[in-house]
Structure 1
Amino acid sequence: MLTGFAASPWVRSALRYGAIILAVLLFLLALRRSGERAGRLAERLQTTEKANDVQRRMLEAAARRPRDRDDLAERLRDGRF
């Protein structure tokens, strides 16, 4: 039989429940941390998508620009600018 601190059944039961509560608490903290990390990654992805969209629109606009001064003057005369 155990002698000392953990000899009483009440103490062993309290230690067992304390260990279970500690494990659940650590699990919840890890879950919260992984949720925060996922949120940061989603925010980073959204920011990257916005930047890529802006860059794509800039490239499309550059592809439609007049090639030279004559092309610019022709567009202005035709009203297509």
Structure 2
Amino acid sequence: MEDQRWTLPRIKTLIGCLFHVTYTVEGIWALLKHHGWSWQQPARRAIERDQSAVELWKREVWPTVKALRRLAEPGSPSRMKPPSR
């Protein structure tokens, strides 16, 4: 079955083809929000979902991925050197 989701890039392409105007993806999102549209979430989980594989990934892979994240270091986000004392 073909993917039939309306993604922002697809909406951008459609608007460009129909009206010969160009918007950024962010601009498309702003237009949709302005007209009362919101993102949608599936009402149910996919039939193909393998819950045991998800739990295994959470237990074995996620801790490794999480550990690789850079921890915050103390300091200033400024690029200027601190004054010497």
Q: Which interval holds the TM-score relative to the shorter structure? A: under 0.3
Structure number with the bigger relative contact order (C-alpha 8 A, sep ≥ 6) is 2
Larger radius of gyration: 1
- After TM superposition, the score normalised by the length of structure 1 is 0.27
User: TM (normalized to structure 2)?
Assistant: 0.26
Q: Which has the higher helix share?
A: 1
